Amino acid sequence: MQKKQELYAGKAKSVFLTDDADRLVLHFRNDTTAFDGEKKAQLERKGAINNRFNAFIMTRLAEHGIETHFEKLLGPNESVVKRLTMFPVECVVRNIAAGSICKRLGIQEGIDLNPPTFEFFLKNDALHDPMINEYHIRAFGWAADAEVARMKELTFKVNDVLKRLFMAAGLLLVDYKLEFGAFHGRVLLGDEFTPDGCRLWDSNTRKKLDKDRFRQGLGGVVEAYEEVAQRLGVDLSGI
Ligand code: ADP
Ligand code: UDP
């Protein structure tokens, strides 16, 4: 398989075509952004850590029957993935209140959400990713009803698998964002699962070990990602 021209450069990853119409190369960059791209930085080694982290999580999810786009690691910052037709929505599950839900609903950070909540957001930086619901997805044709149902089902299944996985590593999975796409009629998990797109707290101290360290200027961002990776047993050799 040969890497071809860049298809798209997002805020943190670049996507390359390949000589296989069904495969892409995903390149994890060191670029880190917050607040819809307003705050930006280059964080040394973040891209390579996230590439390995994502490969590890996607592999664990596949072992539990969740179909993902991940195929294999290609280089320090790159993975081969299936080319999906992405749905322009983000699926967010929250186990503990943090981030936007606290502001939106005036809720104190750290409160347990039992049962967990599910939210859809429209992927649109210019509009600051507004919250939407299933009626908007249906009215604007962003996904079919069966695809919406599948995204929700898979997002909750990911929660069952990952809450346990992180718990065993002494970590609380506070919340996370997933993106899905269609591949030959099936709904697959796409994009990434890394500390850039979820919140992880130490179970005992509740120390933040995710992108909130960057958002809130707490420092030690890459060190936190590395600590989480090491606790999970992600292979970081050579990076
Ligand atoms: P953003 O677009 O939010 O700035 P990234 O920098 O992470 O985000 O860019 C990656 C882009 O690639 C996202 O738009 C994401 O939806 C898209 N993408 C992720 N996985 C796939 C895939 N398997 N097939 C096609 N597009 C994908
Ligand atoms: N998230 C993300 N990309 C987005 C918006 C949110 O990865 O464009 C993740 C975020 O890291 C967190 C979860 O989704 O783990 C919920 O985010 P929230 O709605 O609280 O928004 P925030 O205040 O983090 O922007």
Rounded Cα–Cα distance for residues 19 and 39 (Å): 35
Residue-range domain boundaries for the chain: 3-82, 86-220
The CATH classification number of 3-82 equals: 3.30.200.20
Q: For the segment 92-120, what is each residue's pLDDT rounded down to a tens digit?
A: 999 999 999 999 999 999 999 999 999 99
**Residue 231: Cβ within 10 Å count:** 16
Q: Whose CA is nearest to atom 1 of ligand 1?
A: 10
Check if 10 has its Cβ closer than 6 Å to any atom of ligand 1: yes
Is 41:235 a contact under the CB 8 Å cutoff? no
| Res 214: pLDDT | 98
Closest atom of ligand 2 to CA, residue 123: 8
Q: How far is the CA of 172 from the centre of ligand 1 (A)?
A: 26
Check if 31 has its Cβ closer than 6 Å to any atom of ligand 1: no
3: which DSSP letter? E
Closest atom of ligand 1 to CA, residue 188: 23
Answer whether 0.95 is exceeded by the pTM.
yes
CATH H-level superfamily of 86-220: ATP-grasp fold, B domain (3.30.470.20)
Confidence of residue 36 (pLDDT cuts 50, 70, 90): confident
Q: Is the pLDDT of residue 3 over 90?
A: yes
Closest atom of ligand 2 to CA, residue 175: 15
